[in-house]
């Protein structure tokens, strides 16, 4: 049987092997189309390859089971073509004409149809046979700017890799890891536009770890490629929580990005409601009337041209300015929260202090209505697609004891200054470590009196979050100069409703090096005077040298 021989010929690929192979695949198409197009081509084919691999692996399992039970070859072949034998094991049914090996063989023999046309038809068959994929998969493989020879080479290259052979869940995890890697790489390749569909994983993890979405409805009004949902699913898996307790809702304006999100959810086994099509959240809320337990979002910063209707009921705390949608996003998100719901939102730093277009008055209303629970200032260079400094806003409809935490925090806001955190992962991009992410999250959990998860369930990859420091994470909340401070609404009002953490947390305590202060001042003054004298001497040397050149 063809499927059996193919599976035997290939061994499961490691994540590194898959990433290296796939990036080479992207390079094959880069000369004939731009990043936004080859992204859709490559990710679509990656998904098709995974679906076929999973289908083949399920076919192998069926064959082994029936052979052991004494079924003959004809009976086995009949069972192998029964869609229920696959869908019942969370495996997509793949029509014979949509199977990977069929496409590879078609690319080699040619014929009246181009390989791009055959791939388009395979995508149609997959969507027709699997309701969860309806309207999701790309159909651009036969466009004029897609080099069919390179596309055939790409199929041949992808044919050498194998997703399965380690069990369905591990195969899905492997594909998910590769998919997220590609989203990050394509976001970097597309520059500023890449930020429309990709939020750095470290930033998403801060939001997820702080909110701890274990059950209920989770929503993202500008979901991009679905990174918030995927990270929530990873959080549940890491803490042995049932993923079916979390219902996913989202909306996305861009058609291509919406399709990516649908594929991403399918890859991770998430049944999400992203609407029947893409759409503008401000013009038409596809989930109107549905209240959410958690909202996590990274809206596009400082949109100047947005669908603004002054009479919109979502503007409960003031009509957002026509030239900036930041406070429109925040009010929309607050309007979606249940009475005890919580939200985490990425925003431009300017949102914390801006007074233009009535934003200051709206911010004052959000504070006075006790909706803001925490503000986090982020380090720079986390977002490769934009140089705009960013922060995190956290909202809570109810901060009283018993509603998400054991400590009553009504009338207070927690400020965390994380600007000094992070390390340069590349020459242009900063990343947060596991220890730093957990320190931010655990500070908030201690402040709210939330149940904090045992360290053993975490993905700890550095030593900074072990030993004595790990034990400190479970102490009761205390203000830490230079890092965090709990501030009353009265003090925030006195500061003109500015919500910049650096204004409140102060400076870190100076380390005591054992040198008396008066002696240190005398020493430093003498060193400074010596440096002034040296500077004057060097200036004189420069003047003399310039004089000789005249």
The contacts of residue 90 (CB under 8 Å, 6+ apart) are 168, 269
* Cβ(201)–Cβ(227) below 8 Å: yes
pLDDT at site 262? 87
Instruction: Please tell me the distance from the alpha carbon of residue 460 to that of residue 389, in angstroms, as a whole number.
Output: 27
**CB neighbour class for 365 (10 Å; exposed up to 12, middle 13-18, buried from 19):** middle
How many H helices and E strands in the chain? Answer: 19, 11
Compute the distance between CA of residue 205 and CA of residue 336 in angstroms, rounded to an integer: 22
DSSP assignment string, 283-307: T--TTTT--EEEEEE-PPTT-SS--
Do the Cβ atoms of 227 and 183 come closer than 8 Å? Answer: yes
Exposure class string for 248-261: b at 16+ Cβ within 10 A, else e: bbbbbbbebbbbbb
- CA-angle at 219, arms to 395 and 431, nearest 5°: 70
What number of other Cβ atoms are within 10 A of residue 70's Cβ?
7
| pLDDT tens by residue, 398-439 | 999 988 889 999 999 999 999 999 999 888 789 999 999 999
* Phi, psi at 194, each rounded to 5°: -60, -25
CATH class entry, domain 197-505: alpha beta
Whether residue 369 contacts residue 410, with contact meaning beta carbons closer than 8 Å, is answered with no
Tell me the CA end-to-end span of the chain in Å, nearest whole number.
90
Residue 55 and residue 167 in contact, taking contact as beta carbons nearer than 8 Å: no
Taking Cα atoms as reference points, which of 249, 205, 206, 257 lies closest to residue 231? 205
CB-based contacts of 472, cutoff 8 Å, min separation 6: none
Alpha-carbon distance of 198 to 286, in angstroms, equals 22
What is the enclosing helix (H) or strand (E) of 424? Answer: strand 423-424
Alpha-carbon distance 217 to 203, whole Å?
21
pLDDT at 469: 39
What is the model's pLDDT at position 194? Answer: 41
Q: How many CB atoms neighbour CB 243 within 10 A?
A: 17
> Which of 141, 111, 148 lies closest to 48, judged by CA?
141
The whole-angstrom separation of Cα 53 and Cα 59 is 10
Vertex 225, ends 219 and 227: CA angle to 5°?
Answer: 60
Q: What are phi and psi of 219, to 5 degrees?
A: -140, 145
Nearest to residue 316, comparing CAs of 306, 331, 329, 338? 331
pLDDT for the residue 510:
64
Q: What's phi and psi for 278, nearest 5 deg?
A: -70, 160
Domain boundaries defined on the chain: 2-184, 197-505
CATH topology of domain 2-184: Ferritin (1.20.1260)
Contact between residue 319 and residue 358 where contact means Cβ atoms under 8 Å apart: yes
Q: At what angle do helices 227-238 and 168-190 cross, to 10 degrees?
A: 140
Give residue 386's pLDDT. 66
Tell me, what's the pLDDT at 53? 86
pTM (2 decimals)? 0.78
Residue from 220, 228, 259 nearest 138 by CA:
259
What are the structure tokens assigned to 529, written together?
């005077």
Question: Measuring CA to CA, which residue among 254, 206, 245 is closest to residue 226?
Answer: 254
Weakly modelled stretches of the chain, pLDDT under 70: 1-15, 18, 22, 25-36, 163-180, 182-198, 384-386, 453-475, 510-514, 550
To the nearest 10°, the Cα dihedral for 493, 498, 504, 507? -150
- H or E segment and range at residue 275: none
Among 46, 53, 5, 6, which Cα is nearest to 24's?
A: 46
């Amino acid at each position: 049987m063809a499927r059996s021989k193919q599976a035997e010929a290939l061994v499961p690929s490691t994540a590194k092997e898959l990433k290296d192979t796939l990036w080479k695949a992207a390079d094959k198409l880069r000369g004939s189309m731009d990043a936004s197009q080859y992204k859709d081509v490559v990710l679509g084919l990656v998904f098709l390859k995974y679906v076929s691999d999973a289908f083949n692996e399920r076919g192998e399992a069926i064959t082994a089971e029936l052979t052991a039970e004494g079924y003959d070859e004809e009976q086995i072949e009949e069972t192998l073509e029964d869609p229920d034998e696959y869908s019942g094991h969370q495996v997509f049914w793949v029509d014979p004409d949509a199977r990977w090996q069929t496409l590879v063989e078609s690319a080699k023999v040619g014929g009246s149809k181009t390989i791009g046309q055959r791939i388009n038809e395979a995508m149609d068959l997959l969507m027709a046979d699997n309701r969860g994929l309806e309207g999701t998969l790309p159909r651009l493989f036969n466009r004029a700017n897609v080099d069919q020879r390179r596309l055939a080479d790409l199929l041949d290259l992808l044919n050498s890799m194998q997703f399965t052979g380690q069990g369905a869940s591990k195969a899905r995890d492997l594909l998910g890891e590769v998919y997220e890697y590609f989203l990050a790489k394509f976001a970097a390749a597309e520059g500023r536009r890449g930020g429309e569909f990709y939020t750095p994983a470290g930033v998403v993890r801060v939001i997820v770890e702080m909110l701890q979405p274990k059950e209920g409805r989770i929503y993202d009004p500008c979901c991009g490629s679905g990174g918030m949902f995927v990270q929530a699913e990873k959080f549940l898996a890491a803490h042995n929580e049932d993923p079916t307790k979390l219902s996913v809702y989202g909306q996305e304006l861009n058609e291509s990005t919406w399709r990516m999100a649908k594929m991403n959810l399918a890859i991770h086994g998430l049944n999400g409601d992203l609407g029947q099509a893409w759409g503008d959240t401000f013009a038409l809320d596809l989930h109107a009337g549905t209240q959410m337990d958690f909202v996590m979002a990274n809206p596009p910063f400082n949109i100047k041209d947005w669908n603004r209707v002054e009479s919109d009921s979502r503007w409960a705390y003031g009509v957002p300015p026509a030239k900036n949608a930041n406070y429109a996003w925040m009010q929309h998100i607050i309007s979606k929260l249940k009475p005890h719901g919580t939200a985490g939102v990425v925003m431009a730093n300017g949102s914390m202090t801006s007074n233009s277009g009535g934003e200051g008055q709206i911010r004052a209303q959000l504070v006075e209505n006790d909706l803001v629970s925490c503000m986090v200032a982020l380090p720079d260079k986390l977002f490769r697609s934009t140089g705009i400094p960013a922060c995190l806003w956290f909202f809570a409809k109810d901060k009283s004891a018993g509603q998400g935490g054991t400590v009553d925090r009504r009338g207070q806001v927690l400020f965390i200054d994380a600007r000094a955190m992070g390390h340069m992962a590349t020459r242009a991009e900063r990343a947060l470590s596991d220890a730093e992410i957990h320190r931010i999250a655990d500070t908030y959990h201690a402040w709210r009196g939330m149940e904090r998860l045992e360290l053993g369930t975490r993905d700890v990859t550095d030593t900074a979050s072990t030993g004595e420091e790990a034990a400190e994470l479970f102490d009761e909340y205390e203000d830490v100069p230079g890092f965090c401070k709990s501030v009353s609404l009265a003090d925030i009002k006195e500061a003109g409703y500015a919500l910049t953490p650096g204004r409140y947390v102060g400076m870190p305590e100076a380390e005591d090096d054992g040198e008396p202060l008066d002696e240190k001042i005398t020493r430093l003054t003498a060193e400074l005077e010596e440096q002034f004298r040296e500077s004057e001497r060097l200036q004189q040397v420069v003047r003399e040298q310039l004089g000789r050149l005249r």
